[in-house]
């Protein structure tokens, strides 16, 4: 039987669903104590429904929900301002995650929680490992970092907009290939994660450079750049190396389990 592994970026899915469930109950951007349990119940129900829809649509042979570590990941050690200012998960939702994981397990979907890595790194490790064997992987997320993994075996699905994010999407949005995205964001920075880029280089300039030279290394080695651009790149050499390291998804995390451990029981699934 051909393998089709679905990897769910769990907090990406749960937090976006929670935001939708929370919105009608917000008053002055706050959630009243007496409505929190109702919102959490609605969130868990909506997450289970979303999971059913994903399984019905993609009909995977294997699936896994991947969660971030509860501890700050290694990127914070390299760069303390990583994700600075990003809104943290509400405490009452964080306390509900174990119940949502139990609900996922009832639907046959096990959860993987990292000890020290981000879900992005775990998902990348799993996706690459399976894809290198010529098997199909679909990542469920709206996180743009996974677009850099796109190839003939790795696909990305945006559940909320009900569409696959493919090479054409990357070209239309970023004007580069998936393989060039990490170089693009190294130059421009990644505002979502508060990773700085090279001051004065925006997406249009970065994509033009990458389309002309092919890669960041080739840009840095080029001798025919404008003097002002050469100076910018020279001044930001340390930042470029740091940003590249922060953006790169790990692909070598020891997993401690086999695909057979997350195989779906098709008979049980058909009954859910």
The residues of the chain that CATH labels 3.40.50.1010 are 4-170
What values do phi and psi take at 29, rounded to 5?
Answer: 65, 20
What pLDDT, on a 0 to 100 scale, did the predictor assign at position 266? Answer: 59
Residues present in the chain in total: 272
Q: What is the CATH number of domain 4-170?
A: 3.40.50.1010
- Please check the confidence at residue 71 and state whether its pLDDT lies above 90: no
pLDDT value at residue 220: 95
pLDDT, tens only, 98-122: 999 999 999 999 999 888 889 999 9
Convert the pLDDT of each residue in 7-34 to its tens digit: 999 999 999 999 999 999 988 888 888 8
Asked if 18 contacts 39 with a C-beta cutoff of 8 angstroms, the reply is yes
223 token code pair: 């001798």
Place of tokens 């409505």: 35
> Looking at domain 175-247, which CATH architecture does it have?
Orthogonal Bundle (1.10)
Q: Where in the chain is the domain with CATH 1.10.150.20?
A: 175-247
pLDDT, position 60 = 97
């Amino acid at each position: 039987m051909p393998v089709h592994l679905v990897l769910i970026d769990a907090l990406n899915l749960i937090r976006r669903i929670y935001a939708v469930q929370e919105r009608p109950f917000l008053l002055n951007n706050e959630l009243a104590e007496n409505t929190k349990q109702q919102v959490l119940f609605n969130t868990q129900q909506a997450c289970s429904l979303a999971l059913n829809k994903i399984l019905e649509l993609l009909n995977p042979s294997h699936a896994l929900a991947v969660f971030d570590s509860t501890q700050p990941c290694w990127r914070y050690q390299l760069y303390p301002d990583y994700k600075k200012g990003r809104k943290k998960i509400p405490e009452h939702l964080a306390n509900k995650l174990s119940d949502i994981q139990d609900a996922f397990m009832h639907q046959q979907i096990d959860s993987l929680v990292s000890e020290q890595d981000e879900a992005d790194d775990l998902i990348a490790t799993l996706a690459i490992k399976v894809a290198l064997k010529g098997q199909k992987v679909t990542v469920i997320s709206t996180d743009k970092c996974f677009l850099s993994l796109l190839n003939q075996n790795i696909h990305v699905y945006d559940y909320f907009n009900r569409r696959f994010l493919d090479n054409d999407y990357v070209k239309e949005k970023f004007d580069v290939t998936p393989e060039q995205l990490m170089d693009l964001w190294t130059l421009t920075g990644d505002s979502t994660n508060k990773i700085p880029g090279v001051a004065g280089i925006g997406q249009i300039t970065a994509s033009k450079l990458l389309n002309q030279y092919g890669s960041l290394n080739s840009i840095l080695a080029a001798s025919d750049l404008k003097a002002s651009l050469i100076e910018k790149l020279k001044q930001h050499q340390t930042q470029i190396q740091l940003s590249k390291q922060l953006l790169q998804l790990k692909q070598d995390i020891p997993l401690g389990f086999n695909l057979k451990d997350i195989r779906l029981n098709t008979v049980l699934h058909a009954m859910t």
